[in-house]
Amino acid sequence: MRCPYCGYPDTRVIDSRPAEDRSSIRRRRSCDECGKRFTTYEKVETIPVIVIKKDNNREQYDRAKIEAGVLRACYKRPVSAADIQKVVEAVEIEVFNREEKEIPSSEIGEIVMDKLKDLDPVAYVRFASVYREFKDVNTFMSELKKILDK
């Protein structure tokens, strides 16, 4: 592993343990050249999942897109970065556990909304308003009523 500080091509592993999500390994490393320490995460490579978009285009699953959507929904909300990462991880686990090579973006959106509903109701409504493309106030209000009735 190359050192991110000095670029030296050889580093030592000091400590290895499962990461919090239990799906990757956290490694503490030390550079023999500059002496600095850093952390890396090792994850098992999975079969690429293809996402079928609304317009029937296909693209490879991208965790960063899920993360960006959840971050936008949780903007200025009392939601910790750790909770956001847990939601993204839970969505990703659910998508990959289906063991399908292709998954519609609508299913991924529903999974994200389900996780956000438990995390923060305002973030859920924000995400739903973009995802479900609310056209007017009435559709927005009907979604709010669903939350309030529960």
Query: 87 or 136, which is more confident?
Result: 87
Tokens of residue 19, six digits: 């990461």
Residue 133 lies in a domain: yes
Residue 139 domain boundaries: 50-149
pLDDT in tens, 46-63: 678 899 998 999 999 999
Q: Return d(Cα 148, Cα 35) in angstroms, integer.
A: 55
Using the predicted structure, report yes or no on whether residue 148 has a pLDDT greater than 80. no
pLDDT in tens, 56-108: 999 999 999 999 999 999 999 999 999 999 999 999 889 988 888 999 999 99
Residue 4 lies in a domain: no
Q: Are residues 72 and 123 in the same domain?
A: yes
- Please give the helix or strand (H or E) that residue 88 lies within, else none: helix 81-97
**Mean predicted confidence (pLDDT) in 131-141:** 75
Q: Are residues 15 and 71 in the same domain?
A: no
Q: 88 and 130 in contact (C-beta within 8 Å)?
A: no
State the pTM of this model. 0.65
DSSP β-ladder status, 58-60 and 102-104: unpaired
Residue 66 lies in a domain: yes
b/e for 73-109, b at 16 or more Cβ within 10 A? bbeeeebeeeebeebbbbbbeebeeeeeeebebeebb
Residue 3 lies in a domain: no
Number of domains observed in the structure of the chain: 2
Residue 2 lies in a domain: no
Q: How many residues does the chain have?
A: 150
Q: Are residues 39 and 68 in the same domain?
A: no
